[in-house]
Amino acid sequence: MPLPLLLFDCDGTLVDSEPLLAEEMAVGLNSVGLPFKSTDYLGEFRGARFRRIVAELQQRYGNVDEDQLASMEHTMRTSLANRLTSELKAIPGAHESLEVLQNYPSAVVSNGPESKIHTALQATGLAAYFGKRLFSGYTANCWKPEPCLHLHAASIMGFAASDCIAIDDALVGVRAALQAGMTVIHLNRYPDAETTPEGAIMISNMYQLPPVVERLTHEKWQMPVPQHSIEK
């Protein structure tokens, strides 16, 4: 039996892009008359697809011309890509965890566009761990919190959902992977403000990931794995 497939979220799980994304969203959305603060993303909308956020804001504040929205989104994503290239950092412990777990099959599963995933991984030196194994909601035409993106990635990689471990920091991703029937590890970096859904395993930082994955591999898949430890 092969090792389980590890499906990593990108933003907030591997790379610390969410503060940059929230700032650029606030600039863009306010420019078209949709009130939005960066704290709104980090509080209410974290992990959600951008157009889902736009749709919710339009319900609250009124519709915006589609051409104006498209132009704003293009400008926002261009600015964000520039900032990711120069400012983005990996989540603490991401490099160390991926190094320890490099013998596991793995992929990235993200609601973001594939170009954004690629830029983020390149900027933080994480791209080599995944190669071309990047699964975007925009490419698959399905987004978290629906389970279809996780199921799509597992199918392309040749794994049943029951043989996958999904790692995600956002509740939309955790719930999507649970609904897909996967083992789920919730990187809950805000345990005082956020509750891990029932059925998911909580860790509070990426340094804790390897021993949890290895324990699951031994207990659920009955496979021996090398024992590792990393220090924060």
User: Average pLDDT in the 88-99 region?
Assistant: 97
Mean pLDDT in residue range 157-186: 97
Burial class of residue 95, CB neighbours in 10 A (0-12, 13-18, 19+): middle
The pLDDT of residue 227? 55
Residue 38 CA to residue 90 CA, distance in Å, equals: 20
Q: Find the helix packing angle between 18-31 and 50-61, rounded to 10°.
A: 40
| CA 204/CA 84 separation, integer angstroms | 24
With contact defined as beta carbons under 8 Å apart, do 38 and 26 qualify? yes
The token duo for 161 is 């959902």
Q: Please give the order of strands across the beta sheet that includes 106-110.
A: 134-136, 106-110, 5-8, 164-168, 183-187, 201-203
Supply the mean pLDDT for the chain: 93
Q: How many CA atoms lie within 13 A of 223 on its CB side?
A: 14
Per-residue exposure over 143-152, b if at least 16 CB sit within 10 Å of its own CB, e if not: bbbebbbbbb
Could you report the per-residue pLDDT of 118-148, keeping only the tens digit for each? 999 999 999 999 999 999 999 999 999 999 9
Between CA 126 and CA 134, with CA 132 as vertex, the angle to 5 degrees is 80
CA distance 51 to 30: 15
Q: Are 94 and 206 in contact (CB under 8 A)?
A: yes
Q: Is the model's pLDDT at 226 over the cut of 70?
A: no
Mean pLDDT score, 61-81 = 95
